[in-house]
């Protein structure tokens, strides 16, 4: 049994010190030992599997939701629930044909129903299978709160966002370390009169160029995307590309960034968004595009909208069409039971009242089995 | 200030001067300067207006009591109010045949009207001006109306026997005109609200083809109800009902003829103007054909034939249906599910 010490100063976010290393745990109904997403199946529905911490550091430097990151720090383990929407997409991904154009998947659902977590689950699968993961954690960050907006050197009608681009390149480098030395560029890129990246240089050099020379980082991002798009699915390249975008409705929405003359910037005029939109089209082969809708960080959208057409808009829907919409609902009864037992096991539910049947009914009533609501409420119970 | 003792002097004086018909009594007050008012000494002075020698020749002494004996006029005792004598099953139309003010003794109802006394009831009907001031409709009871109808019946004609169902009425008389007339008890019989005319007609009864129907809907806007397929034209801009009716009929005629006309600029109708989504020629069609060609589903072929062949496939038709349904009906779980299944089939997943 794991023994844990924790200091009670009321409330959430406490550090736990694991006193003894875990011996093989007794079989618990809410956990599964199957930590490889490729081997998970329907019988693991509702059960939590543990992500190895090495994976968490590499695959998700920037992808996990904020509250989940805090939970990982508190519980000292990263456990994710196996749910039907994720497994559906994973089984489709297993059957993808490298020669066919990339299929687009879109997770949609109510606020807090687990779309980002499902996306992370699928990304974990892609990583374990050795795919190259191009993960944009929140496309909304690229269309709002831009501190520095430069006119693009490549195309004067577009705008660069160096800060966002460098940050993304850094995280991309952490995730895809092994591929950086394997993939070679097929084209020569000239950045300034004196700097250029020759044909045949590795992707790693390209990425470093972007991180060191901050001014050109947005164009580097565009170059990286172009290279990967052209090369994936080709007979000579041995990697498969998984493009994962959270909050894809930001690409076709409105932005809050304003130009110097106080007119709003269309997302199309941003280099990052323009290049990402090109990736979203299914004119390349050998991979998959997995996306999520997000209202949480969206600007100029109603709080209650969650359906694809209302968040994507006409233009977005027509660009994404044909895609496979996958609904991510609130917890089912079984999943709720599993989550409840997990929190009990982690001693997250501290009051004795929550151990009773009445307490459980209260939790169901207050949260309506919505995952994020349940997580917040359990912090107070 | 009058000392109380003075009153006694006064009364004695009156008795003494009782034989006089009139006695004037005046009280004088002598102000002694420097003494203050409250120390004033009052002196009573008498003055008689008429001669003290009164003649007893006039009427008997009033002392004897009894006034003059007046000739007794005959005063009729008021009898029972008519309400007591009314039988319960009387003919009310005979009591109130025409519009008459409120007569409390003719109406056998314990009506009260007015502001209630504190802790009490409003004033009763007897002598109640409030009840008389207001108009009443006691001459228009159901019994009276029945009599009116009976009187009017000889002047009416039969309802046509062929029009026995609503459907037949709609078929032969598709245009329905609705007007309101107002009656009020007042000096004037006019009411400006009586000029409003509502004309309603079902569009299915008008001879319109597809283009004409769409144009009509655009011209008419809010006046059309999609659920019942009824166009309602309300006319109230003229002062008379008959004028408004003529105007409404004119509007209907003009709408009908205008919607059949095709202008040159109507050819520039864009996708944004379309009332409902049509899949042919849309971006969605381009996308799916593009995808299928790249997936090499149709085998090797050239442009047009490949497209035709692809369009004829069952999965593509299902996909087309699902997209059209999604765009026209809006999103909900069932449309989304249908779309998902269709996409899976088309992309062969």
Q: What are the mean pLDDT values of chain A's consecutive 10-residue runs (381 residues total)?
A: 44 39 58 88 89 91 91 91 92 87 92 93 92 91 88 86 92 90 86 83 88 89 90 83 92 89 89 91 88 90 90 88 91 92 90 90 92 91 83
- The stretch B66-75 carries a mean pLDDT of 68
pLDDT tens, position by position, B250-289: 999 999 999 999 999 999 988 888 888 888 777 777 888 7
Q: Report how far residue B92's alpha carbon sits from residue B32's, in angstroms, rounded to the nearest whole number.
A: 83
> Is the ipTM of this structure higher than 0.95?
no
Q: Does residue B247 register a pLDDT over 80?
A: yes
The more confidently predicted of residues B14 and B121 is: B121
Distance from CA of A213 to the nearest CA of B (A): 38
**Which residue is closest to A89 within chain B, CA to CA?**
B349
Which chain A residue shows the shortest CA-CA distance from B279? A318
Write the DSSP assignment of A108-130 as a string of letters: E-STTSSHHHHHHHHHHHHHHTT
**What does the pLDDT look like over B268-279, one tens digit per residue?**
988 888 888 888
- CB proximity list for B262: less than 8 A, separation 6 or greater: B211
Interchain proximity A322–B343, CB inside 8 Å = yes
pLDDT band at B45 (very low <50, low <70, confident <90, very high): low
pLDDT score at B68: 59
Cα–Cα distances (Å) from B182 to A209, B9, B188, in that order, read 87, 78, 11
CA B282 to chain centre: 53
Residues 304-333 of A with CB under 8 A from B: 307-310, 318, 321-327
What pTM value is reported for the model? 0.71
Please enumerate in sequence order all residues whose Cβ is within 8 A of that of A19, keeping only pairs 6 or more positions apart, or say none.
Answer: A3, A4, A5
Does the distance separating the beta carbons of A308 and B331 come in below 8 Å? yes
| HSE of B269, CA atoms in CB hemisphere, 13 A | 13
Report DSSP state, residue A247.
S
Distance from CA of A377 to the nearest CA of B (A): 28
The tokens for A368 are 């309506």
Q: Which of A167, A209, A205, A158 is nearest to A185 (CA)?
A: A205
The structure tokens 């809006």 sit at B330
Closest to A327 (Cβ–Cβ): which among B284, B288, B336? B336
**What tens digit of pLDDT does each residue of B128-182 get?**
999 999 989 999 999 999 999 999 999 999 999 999 999 999 999 999 999 999 9
Phi, psi (5° rounding) for residue A256? -95, 5
Hunting for tokens 């130009």 — which residue is that? A259
Contact (CB<8Å) B336/A310: no
Chain A's closest residue to B290, CA to CA, is A283
Q: What is the pLDDT of residue B35?
A: 47
Which stretches of chain A are assigned E, i.e. beta strand? 4-5, 17-18, 48-51, 78-81, 103-108, 132-136, 150-151, 159-160, 189-190, 196-197, 241-246, 287-292, 324-327
The size of chain B, in residues, is: 349
Write the Ramachandran bin of B34: left for phi over 0, alpha for psi from -120 to 50, otherwise beta.
left
Chain A residue numbers with beta carbons less than 8 Å from the beta carbon of B282 are 318
- Residues of chain B with pLDDT > 90, as a percent, come to 50
How far away is chain A from the Cα of B306, in angstroms, using its nearest Cα? 18
Chain A interface mutation, best of B327, B336, B337, B342, highest count of A Cβ atoms under 10 Å = B336
Inter-residue contact B108 to B92 (CB < 8 Å): no
Compute and round to an integer the Cα radius of gyration of chain A: 22
* Average pLDDT value for chain B: 81
Cβ contacts from A onto B, under 8 A: 53
Q: How far apart are the first and last CA of chain A?
A: 24
- For residue B128, give Cα distances in angstroms to B99, B114, B327: 18, 8, 71
Q: Closest Cα to residue A250, out of A272, A231, A217, A232?
A: A272
Weakest mean pLDDT among A27-41, A270-284, B3-17, B308-322: B3-17
Strand partners for B124:
B112
Distance of CA A277 to the CA centre of its chain: 17
Tokens of A279: 């990736």
Check residue A33 and give its pLDDT. 87
Which residues 333-362 on chain A approach chain B with CB closer than 8 angstroms?
none
């Amino acid at each position: 049994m794991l023994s844990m010490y924790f200091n009670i100063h009321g409330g959430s976010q406490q550090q736990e010190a694991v006193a003894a290393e875990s011996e093989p745990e007794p079989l618990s109904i809410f956990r599964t030992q199957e930590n490889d997403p490729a081997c998970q199946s329907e019988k693991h529905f509702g059960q939590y599997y543990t992500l190895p911490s090495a994976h968490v550091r590499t695959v998700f430097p920037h992808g996990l939701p904020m509250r989940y990151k805090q939970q990982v720090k508190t519980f000292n383990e990263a456990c994710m629930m196996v749910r039907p929407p994720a497994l559906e997409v994973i089984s489709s991904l297993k059957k993808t044909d490298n020669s066919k154009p990339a299929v687009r998947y879109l997770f949609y659902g109510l606020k807090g129903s687990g779309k980002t977590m499902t996306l992370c689950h699928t990304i974990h699968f892609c990583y374990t299978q050795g795919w190259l993961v191009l993960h944009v954690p929140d496309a909304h960050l690229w269309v709002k709160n831009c501190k520095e907006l430069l006119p693009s050197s490549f195309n004067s009608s577009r705008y660069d966002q160096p800060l966002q681009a460098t940050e993304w390149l850094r995280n991309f480098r952490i995730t895809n370390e092994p591929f950086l030395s394997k993939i070679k560029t097929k084209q020569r890129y000239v950045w300034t009169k004196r700097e250029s990246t020759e044909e045949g240089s590795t992707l790693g050099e390209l990425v470093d160029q972007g991180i060191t020379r901050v001014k050109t980082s947005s164009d580097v991002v565009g170059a990286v995307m172009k290279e990967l798009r052209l090369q994936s699915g080709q007979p000579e390249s041995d990697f498969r590309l998984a493009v994962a975008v959270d909050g894809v409705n930001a690409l076709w929405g409105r932005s809050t960034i304003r130009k110097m003359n106080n007119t709003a910037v269309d997302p199309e005029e941003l280099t990052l968004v323009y290049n990402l939109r090109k990736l979203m089209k299914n004119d390349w082969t050998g991979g998959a595009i997995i996306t999520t809708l997000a209202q949480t960080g969206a600007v100029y959208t109603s709080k209650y909208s969650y359906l694809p057409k209302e968040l994507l808009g006409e233009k977005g829907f027509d660009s994404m069409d044909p895609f496979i919409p996958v609904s991510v609902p609130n917890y089912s009864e079984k999943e709720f039971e599993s989550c409840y037992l997990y929190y009990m096991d982690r001693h997250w539910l501290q009051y004795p009242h929550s151990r009773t049947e009445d307490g459980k009914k209260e939790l169901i009533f207050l949260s309506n089995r919505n995952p994020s609501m349940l997580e917040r409420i359990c912090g107070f119970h | 200030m009058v000392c109380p003792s003075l009153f006694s002097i006064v009364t004695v004086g009156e008795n003494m001067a009782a034989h006089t018909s009139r006695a004037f009594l005046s009280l004088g007050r002598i102000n002694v300067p420097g003494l203050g008012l409250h120390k004033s000494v009052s002196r009573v002075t008498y003055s008689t207006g008429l001669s003290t020698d009164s003649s007893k020749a006039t009427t008997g002494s009033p002392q004897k009591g009894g006034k003059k004996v007046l000739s007794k006029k005959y005063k009729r005792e008021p009898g029972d109010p008519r309400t007591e004598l009314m039988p319960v099953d009387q003919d009310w139309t005979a009591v109130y045949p025409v519009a008459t003010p409120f007569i409390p003794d003719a109406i056998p109802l314990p009506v009260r009207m007015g502001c209630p006394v504190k802790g009490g009831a409003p004033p009763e009907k007897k002598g109640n001006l409030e009840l008389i001031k207001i108009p009443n409709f006691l001459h228009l009871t159901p019994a009276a109306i029945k009599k009116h109808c009976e009187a009017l019946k000889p002047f009416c004609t039969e309802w046509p026997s062929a029009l026995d169902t609503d459907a037949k009425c709609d078929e032969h008389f598709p245009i329905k005109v609705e007007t309101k007339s107002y009656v009020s008890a007042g000096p004037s019989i006019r009411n400006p609200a009586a000029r409003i005319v509502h004309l309603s007609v079902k569009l299915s009864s008008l001879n319109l083809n597809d283009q004409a129907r769409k144009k009509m809907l655009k011209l008419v806007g809010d006046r059309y109800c999609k659920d019942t397929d009824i166009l309602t034209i309300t006319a109230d801009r003229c002062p008379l009902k008959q004028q408004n009716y003529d105007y409404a009929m004119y509007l209907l005629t003009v709408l009908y003829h205008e919607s059949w006309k095709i202008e040159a600029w109507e050819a520039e109708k864009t996708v944004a103007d379309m009332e409902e989504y049509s899949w042919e020629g849309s971006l969605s069609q381009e996308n799916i054909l593009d995808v299928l060609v790249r997936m090499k589903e149709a085998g090797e072929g050239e442009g047009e034939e490949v497209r035709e062949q692809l369009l004829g496939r069952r999965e593509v038709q299902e996909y087309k249906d699902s997209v059209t349904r999604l765009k026209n009906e809006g999103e909900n779980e069932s449309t989304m599910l249908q779309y998902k299944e269709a996409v899976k089939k088309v992309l062969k997943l």
